[in-house]
Amino acid sequence: MESKHRYTPAEVTGRQPSLPAIIAITLGLLLIVAGTFMPIFNFLQGTAYRYVYATGAATLLIARLFTPYTGRVMRVKRLSRIEAWSAIFFCVAAFFMFYEPRVARDWLAFTLAGGVIQIYTSIMIPRTMRRALEGKE
């Protein structure tokens, strides 16, 4: 069933995040990736990867919390909230890195869950915005 309401581009996108917020999100995700791959490839022996990962997770969480979606499309608003949950999953993974440092099972599981959510929302948010602009949402 198609909606008769067509949104304007400003109603769909809402207020755009600031440049520092975009940089913080990108930096946080890159630090999470670096912290995940450091122990896999035995780069910098020791515990430095935990701090790199935890810094990235905290940076991403703070950036996601301070850049909420302000548009009018409810489905995009829900997807943006789900996207914030991925940052929470990364923070839980960082906790398990320090809580049980010898067991990689828990932090890798939460990292994979956060990554899957991040991938899903990065595909669905632009798709949903495009559909809302076309009047199909």
Q: How far, in Å, CA of 91 to CA of 32, rounded?
A: 10
Per-residue pLDDT at 7 exceeds 90: no
- In the chain, where the domains are located: 15-134
Q: pLDDT value at position 135?
A: 82
Per-residue pLDDT at 3 exceeds 80: no
pLDDT in tens, 62-106: 999 999 999 999 999 999 999 999 999 999 999 999 998 878 889
Cβ neighbours of residue 129 closer than 8 Å, sequence gap 6 or more: 12, 13, 73, 76
Closest CA to 113 of 31, 36, 47, 52: 36
Give just the sign of the alpha carbon dihedral 105, 107, 110, 115: negative
Cβ neighbours of residue 17 closer than 8 Å, sequence gap 6 or more: 25, 67
Q: How far, in Å, CA of 93 to CA of 105, rounded?
A: 10
Mean pLDDT of the chain: 90
User: Between 4 and 57, whose confidence is greater?
Assistant: 57
Q: What are phi and psi of 2, to 5 degrees?
A: -95, 145
Is 0.75 surpassed by the pTM of this model?
Answer: yes
